[in-house]
Amino acid sequence: MDRPVAEALDLLTNGEIEIEGRMPWSSNATFLVHVRAGEQSHPAIYKPVRGERPLWDFEPGLHRRELAAYRLSEACGLHLVPPTVIRDGPLGEGSLQWFVDADHRQHYFTIHEQRPDLHDALREIAAFDIVANNTDRKSGHVLLGDHGQIWGIDHGLCFAGDFKLRTVIWEFAGDPLSESVAAWVAAVAGEVPAGVVTLLSDHEVDAIAGRAERLARAGTLPIDPTGRRYPWPLV
Ligand SMILES: Nc1ncnc2c1ncn2[C@@H]1O[C@H](COP(=O)(O)OP(=O)(O)OP(=O)(O)O)[C@@H](O)[C@H]1O
Ligand SMILES: [Mg+2]
């Protein structure tokens, strides 16, 4: 992040939104916008509810899941989801997420191959996806930011009640959880962060605690015996 999180959240919440264009290849209506306030201006990703493609397995309102993912990451001290808010915008209510500076040639597969120094951060995102029940961890949903910061984006398809993890991050299956990961996973198992609870159904909240508890008890990142828990496309 090139500025303090509180400032970013303030600009996201109160700035004026100007649409620059629709993101190429995005399956939902995902817009690159600029948020402006006075001299300040910063790019952001705006996903209006109205632009969502209907899905058989998720209710409309994926923007709430984007915010829930941000709040979960913050509550656990992970800082792996860019600052995100829900607000009204030019196309109605939606999520608005800080556009992070990233090397867009890099994504999970290239980072895994070229940056062994970042493998712990990748293990952390793998644990986050299990707890969040991420159904869409494509390689391109892992970004490499400044100073080796790993960011996770696109969390609209998280937190379903039924376990339906789909991810490309399987290289660390069977690895033990680090002490710090084990600690936040156990904390979520004990109590789902309040800011997350208000955004999801009771069943979805119970399911978060259940996944965290199972992960904490196992003490290792799970192995997928089916070999099928991949999103499509992979990148
Ligand atoms: N916060 C962010 N910072 C930087 N780049 C971002 C951010 N959010 C999204 N992007 C870029 O925009 C692209 C599209 O965003 P995202 O994947 O969230 O949209 P989507 O509509 O769900 O697309 P798809 O259905 O194709 O996955 C990403 O692949 C990434 O390159
Ligand atoms: Mg995407």
Rounded to two decimals, what is the model's pTM? 0.97
Q: Is 66 helix (H, G, I), strand (E, B) or coil?
A: helix
Ligand 1 atom with the smallest distance to the CA of 47 is 21
Decide whether any atom of ligand 1 lies within 6 Å of the 106 Cβ.
no
What CATH number labels 5-98? Answer: 3.30.200
Contacts of 109 (CB under 8 A, 6+ apart): 139, 168, 234, 235
Q: Ligand 2 centroid to 19 CA: how many Å?
A: 18
Decide whether any atom of ligand 1 lies within 6 Å of the 140 Cβ.
yes
What confidence category does residue 1 fall into, taking pLDDT thresholds of 50, 70 and 90? confident
Beta strands in 65-116 (DSSP E): 84-89, 92-98
What confidence category does residue 21 fall into, taking pLDDT thresholds of 50, 70 and 90? confident
H or E stretch at 33:
strand 31-37
Better-scored residue on pLDDT, 27 or 62: 62
How high is the pLDDT of residue 84? 98
Decide whether any atom of ligand 1 lies within 6 Å of the 170 Cβ.
no
Residues 82/97, Cβ–Cβ less than 8 Å: yes
Of 25, 26, 49, 79, the residue with max ligand 1 atoms within 8 A of its CB, to mutate for a pocket test, comes to 26
| Average confidence (pLDDT) over 131-136 | 98
- Residues with C-beta atoms within 5 A of ion ligand 2: 154
How high is the pLDDT of residue 149? 97
Q: Residue ranges per domain, the chain?
A: 5-98, 108-218
Of the chain, the end-to-end C-alpha distance in Å amounts to 24
Structure tokens at 56: 């058989």
What confidence category does residue 196 fall into, taking pLDDT thresholds of 50, 70 and 90? very high
